[in-house]
Amino acid sequence: MPRPYVLINVAATVDGKIDTRDRRGARISSEADFERVDRLRASVDGIVVGGRTLHQEDPRLTVRSETLCAERVARGQPAQPARIAVASHLTLPPDARFLNGPAARVIVFVPRSRGNTTLETVEVYECGADRVDLAQALAHLSNLGMRRVMVEGGGTLNFELLRLGLVDEVQMYLAPLVFGGASAPTLADGEGLGREAAIRLSAPEVQTLPDGGLVLRYMVNQS
If one asks whether residue 213 binds ligand NAP (CB under 6 A), the answer comes out as no
* Residue 14 vs 70, nearer CB to ligand NAP: 14
Amino acid identity, residue 122?
V
From the list 33, 44, 47, 50, which residue makes contact with ligand NAP (rule: CB under 6 A)?
50
* Max Cα-Cα span within the chain: 49
Residue type, 54: L
Q: Which is nearer to ligand NAP, 42 or 87 (CB)?
A: 87
Q: Do 26 and 20 touch, CB atoms closer than 8 A?
A: yes
Positive or negative torsion for Cα 159, 161, 165, 168: negative
Q: Which stretch binds ligand NAP (CB under 6 A): 62-70, 73-81, 114-122, 146-154?
A: 146-154
Shortest distance, position 117 Cβ to ligand NAP, whole Å: 12
CB 9 within 8 A of CB 151: yes
Q: Which residues contact 154 (CB under 8 A, 6 or more apart)?
A: 18, 19, 49, 50, 52, 53, 185, 189
Please pick, from the candidates 8, 185, 215, 220, the single residue that binds ligand NAP as defined by CB under 6 A.
185
Site residues (vs ligand NAP, CB under 6 A): 10-11, 18-19, 23, 25, 28, 49-53, 56-57, 86-89, 131-132, 134, 152-157, 160, 185, 189
